[in-house]
Amino acid sequence: MLFDFLQMKCTAGLSSTGSFLLSCHLTCWARKILGLRSFDLQSQKNNKEHHTSEIGSHRLFVRRAQAFVITLNFDRPFNADMDKIVLTAETGPQPTESLGTKVRFVPAKARSGNQWSVSDLNTYENSLQVSLSAPAHAIIGRYLLKVEVSHHPSGRAESYKLGEFILLFNPWSSEDEVYLPSQTLLQEYLMMDYGFIFKGHENWITPWPWNYGQFEDDIIDICFEILDRNLNFLNHPSKDYSQRNSVMYVCRVVSAMINSNDDNGVLQGNWSEDYSKGVNPLEWNGSVAILRQWHATGGQPVRYGQCWVFAAVMCTVMRCLGVPTRVVTNFRSAHNTDGNLTIDMFYDKHAEMMPWERRDKIWNFHVWNECWMTRKDLPPGYDGWQVLDPTPQETSRGVFCCGPASVRAIKEGDIQLAYDTAFVFAEVNADEVIWLQESGQVKEILSHNTNAIGKKISTKMVGSDDRQDITNSYKYKEGTTEERNVFMKASRILLGPIGSSSYPYMERMRTAWFQEKPVKLQLKLAKTPEWGQDLAFFLRARRLQGSEMGIEQLLLNVWLSAQALLHGGNAQTPLWRDKLSFSLVQGEEKELLITLPFINYKDHISDEKLIRLSGVVEIGQTRRKLLVMKDVSLELPHFTIEVSGPAVVNKKLGVSVTFTNTQAETLQNCVLMLEGSGLIDGRMTVNLGTIESGETIQAEVDLFPTKEGSRQLQVLLSCKEVKEIKGYKDIFVASASSP
């Protein structure tokens, strides 16, 4: 109004020099285009509201479907009637509006939920504060933000770069396809930067502490570098970027890029037991060192990984991108390549497990991921946890990746649904059939187990260091009508009508189902199996009443063997054999003590420290053969971790690690490796040298925590003889300002 009044005064020819000069000055001021002097992306405030403060406060990290505020400082006040602003956000190479990689949006009265918007314009002197938001289906990634300022009616315009921001998935927003309506679960599956991976054997489950470190300074940039090196991007970069609004697409890309089978992915797999050209997978403590090494070498695959390493690194990447993710372990996990839901294993008459004749196998355990998302591509009811597996087992649509497969679809046997549901169903539901083989010929069935696959499926319990068994999420209870019905449903989808199967041993297996076993056999440990000690166990045999009625003394000839089990399920040549004979009358039970000396397995077992004891029992009078077996996980030595005093940000924290070599053997080339986000930048290594039998060593280190809150210190003791003596210490770090 003041401007209009003075302009009228000038036009009327008023003679006051002061009035004339003032009116002309203001007329020119009003016609001058706004000049941007500075801007403030308010990273610290926005990041806190968007749950990204842990990533950092010097750059802007925001989430879809949630407003963030920026401030523009001009050289004069903003006039809504004459000054117009248009904001532009661009991502990817050669951004275009047609692909959604470039968007222009103008101020509106309110935020629009399905498009980019700018609203809530507030002025103060020469500053303009605006609220921006991206829709829930926006492409995630790095964006360049620009503002174009124009003046009406002159039409003059100026464009300014406001800097970069990173847009992430938003599980806090009900509009986003990764929405998880639980603060407790979000804290566990998105914000927690450490956790546990469960390894070992179904009867000896070991929690393996892991540093995910998704909020370390450079990890978010490495995550987008991973996306920018995938095959789709290399072939069609603009199209690849345009599809990054879909969590399913991003998950499949990450699943493929964590392994290096098709590309220069993050990790190279190795199950050979020869790790001389890289790092033994057991010696990794966390994802950060792996991702940084991959980045530092220009995207060269890191040597080496196995399933738990692949899954842990994928968990880091997906949590960093904003997708609730957890790591899941399936004990006795089937790798079924021919789609018949049957895993065949072969033994000879001397109780030696033979090399795999086919590519089917049973992993001692296998680790994959679950990511939380909506599945709009599937019928209703299949949202929630989805299996993603970055370990390169089989190709999916031509690429080594797996999933997302709905956990609900797996449980219900709806294996026709995308993606790779049939493969995951077999991993937890296949039948195990064990055959006697002589001279390359299958002679008879030794065992048919319908409940041997998919045992104690595990993940970390929410808010606890304990293990949660989630087997019932994947399948109905073994042996129930529901479980068998689902199995038959899946079999019909895979194999067609019953009787049309191409399974080569079907007729032999059908006849074997009706043969009753005359003797019940069991291998049972006599004491805790410790590495470095003789292994003592019992062979228990009980003759069942009414069996082989025409034979008074049932003669049993027993061949025993022990083989080192590899992680992939294969076994090495026998490291020990034995043979014995005894007889049983009707209803009699005998228990025989057997010893496997340490000297026999000392130099012959794998880093997994897992031994399979097997026995083939031949009934002397009928020549029928039975199988008994037991997998034994050797217990390793332990160490203790102590901290001195309270932990405070940027204050010295003393840590002491004490270890006693309880073994009869000397441990050589011992190295202590420590890691923990918010406690250590990268990794810390302490060389311990040789630790004699019975010797106690104490290593003391000083830490300077950089982040407050709950933290975890992961410690690994590795030596020539043993690679996986692990421990951890939960540490709460107080802020520097705390009293």
Task: Give residue 359's pLDDT band: very low, low, confident or very high (50, 70, 90).
Answer: low
Which listed residue (251, 307, 402, 670) is catalytic?
307
| Tens digit of each residue's pLDDT (9 = 90 or more) over 711-735 | 999 999 999 888 889 999 999 999 9
DSSP element (H, E) containing 601: helix 598-601
Give yes or no for residue 240 having a pLDDT over 80.
Answer: yes
Q: Alpha carbon of 602 to those of 198, 594, 596, 599, 665: distances in Å?
A: 25, 18, 11, 5, 10
DSSP element (H, E) containing 6: helix 2-11
| Tokens (6 digits) for 340 | 């018949």
Cα–Cα distance for residue pair 544/517, rounded to 1 Å: 8
307 is catalytic: yes
Task: Give residue 3's pLDDT band: very low, low, confident or very high (50, 70, 90).
Answer: very low
Cα–Cα distance for residue pair 397/377, rounded to 1 Å: 17
| Tokens (6 digits) for 246 | 């879909």
Which sign does the torsion angle of CA 528, 531, 533, 536 carry?
positive
- Looking at residue 333, its pLDDT comes to 97
Cα–Cα distance for residue pair 576/123, rounded to 1 Å: 83
Q: Which residue has the tokens 């300002």?
A: 737
- Looking at residue 516, its pLDDT comes to 77
| Tens digit of each residue's pLDDT (9 = 90 or more) over 662-672 | 888 899 999 99
638 is catalytic: no
Which listed residue (389, 414, 420, 607) is catalytic?
389
| Tens digit of each residue's pLDDT (9 = 90 or more) over 382-412 | 999 999 999 999 999 999 999 999 999 999 9
Strands 639-644 and 647-648: unpaired
262 is in an annotated binding site: no
What the chain holds in terms of domains, given with CATH numbers, is 28-168 (2.60.40.10), 193-507 (3.90.260.10), 516-633 (2.60.40.10), 639-733 (2.60.40.10)
Task: Give residue 8's pLDDT band: very low, low, confident or very high (50, 70, 90).
Answer: very low
Cα–Cα distance for residue pair 313/304, rounded to 1 Å: 12
pTM: 0.92
Give yes or no for residue 23 having a pLDDT over 60.
Answer: no
- Which residues partner with 539 through β-bridges? 523, 592
Cβ atoms 701, 676 nearer than 8 A: no
- Share the mean pLDDT of the chain: 91
Q: Maximum Cα–Cα distance for the chain, whole Å?
A: 136
SS3 449: strand
Q: Of 292, 293, 341, which Cα lies nearest the Cα of 449?
A: 341
| Tokens (6 digits) for 365 | 């355990």
| Tokens (6 digits) for 293 | 């090494």
211 is in an annotated binding site: no
| Tens digit of each residue's pLDDT (9 = 90 or more) over 433-463 | 999 988 878 888 998 899 999 999 999 999 9
Task: Give residue 739's pLDDT band: very low, low, confident or very high (50, 70, 90).
Answer: low
Cβ atoms 715, 639 nearer than 8 A: yes
Q: Of 674, 667, 675, which Cα lies nearest the Cα of 695?
A: 667
Alpha helices in 440-554 (DSSP H): 471-474, 481-495, 506-512
Query: What does the pLDDT average to over 255-264?
Result: 95
Q: Which residue has the tokens 């169903």?
A: 425
DSSP letter assigned to residue 721: S
Cα–Cα distance for residue pair 107/119, rounded to 1 Å: 5
730 is in an annotated binding site: no
Cα–Cα distance for residue pair 387/404, rounded to 1 Å: 5
DSSP element (H, E) containing 294: helix 288-296
Which listed residue (50, 51, 335, 366) is catalytic?
366
Task: Give residue 507's pLDDT band: very low, low, confident or very high (50, 70, 90).
Answer: low
Task: Give residue 501's pLDDT band: very low, low, confident or very high (50, 70, 90).
Answer: low
- Interhelix angle 219-227/247-258, rounded to 10 degrees, is 90
389 is catalytic: yes
Strands 68-74 and 60-63: unpaired
How many Cα atoms occupy the beta-carbon half-sphere of 627 within 13 Å? Answer: 25
- Looking at residue 27, its pLDDT comes to 45
Task: Give residue 559's pLDDT band: very low, low, confident or very high (50, 70, 90).
Answer: very high
- Looking at residue 498, its pLDDT comes to 56
- Looking at residue 43, its pLDDT comes to 98
Cα–Cα distance for residue pair 729/658, rounded to 1 Å: 13
SS3 282: helix
429 is in an annotated binding site: yes
Cα–Cα distance for residue pair 479/449, rounded to 1 Å: 11
